[in-house]
Amino acid sequence: MSALYSETIQGITFITFNNPPANALSQGVLQELSQLLKKYEEIEETRVIILKGEGRFFCAGADIKEFTSLQQSTQYENLAKKGQNLFEYIENYPKPIIAMIHGTALGGGLELAMSCHMRFVTHDAKLGLPELQLGIIPGFAGTQRLPRYVGAAKACEMMLTSRPIKGTEAVTLGLANASYHEEELHSKVTAIAEVIAKKSPSSVKATLELLQYTKTSRYYEGVEKEAQLFGSVFNTEDAKEGVTAFIEKREPKFVGK
């Protein structure tokens, strides 16, 4: 069964994660998302794309069990680069991509949402990068994108404590555009997408392209370094313990090696 399904209604294409129970981002899901986005990039009818999750979550993060199938640091580094490349593609996409977040957007789920052009959340949604809780680090450019939205100090706090923030705080910090009650999230976000869909596609595309000029060379250096460290950290005993503890649903015991 496909982990994603899509439909287009009046110029708005909804891409829905349907990978229960947590809508985890496996390599297969990332590949499927990439293929769908390439498809809709060429379809003129699609003016705006909304990413959303089925069930309790938007996306609870990467598929941690998949990590255990990798052995070498270069394999983990390549995995990070695949995610980074896809999310860079999303951020540079010529049509607006909106993340509609309910439940949780954690780890890779938040990294995906941060690559979208806009994020709308429920009041009680949980957003965070809890990778250090597993003895690893964010690998899909999260260390570089999060400070752009919330500032270096808050990003440091969120990553080092592994504590997520609620949707309402995400709005205050600039990580999300607005928050709504869960029952009104879909209608509110759709209404915003409808306004955008009526705009000239060429002017929308030009605006999105110009927004990318706010990035600096240091951003891309940081993304490259993140992938390298993502690979090397996975070679540590603590990373193996953290991933195993997560799968076994217990507290990890880190030894500093």
pLDDT in tens, 148-170: 999 999 999 999 999 999 999 99
Domain boundaries, the chain: 4-197
Q: What DSSP assignment string belongs to 171-205?
A: HHHTSSSEEE-HHHHHHHHHHHHHHHHTS-HHHHH
**Can you give the pLDDT at residue 71?**
79
Q: Which residues pair with 72 in a beta bridge?
A: none
- The CATH class, in words, for 4-197 is alpha beta
**Can you give the pLDDT at residue 2?**
85
Give the residue-averaged pLDDT of 60-71: 84
**Can you give the pLDDT at residue 65?**
84
Q: How many other β-carbons are positioned within 10 Å of the β-carbon of residue 46?
A: 19
131 is catalytic: yes
Q: Tell me: the pLDDT tens digits for 71-128?
A: 788 998 999 999 999 999 999 999 999 999 999 999 999 999 999 999 999 999 999 9
Predicted TM-score (pTM) of this structure:
0.94
Identified catalytic residue from 7, 66, 77, 131: 131
Give the residue-averaged pLDDT of 182-195: 98
Distance between CA atoms of 159 and 55, rounded to whole angstroms?
Answer: 26
Whether the Cβ atoms of residue 165 and residue 100 lie closer than 8 Å to each other: no
Whether the Cβ atoms of residue 49 and residue 98 lie closer than 8 Å to each other: yes
Tell me what percent of the residues of the chain surpass a pLDDT of 70: 100
Identified catalytic residue from 77, 91, 111, 226: 111
pLDDT interval class at 1 (50, 70, 90)? low
Q: pLDDT at residue 63 above 90? A: no
**Can you give the pLDDT at residue 62?**
86
Distance between CA atoms of 191 and 85, rounded to whole angstroms?
Answer: 30
Q: Tell me: the pLDDT tens digits for 13-37?
A: 999 999 988 999 999 999 999 999 9
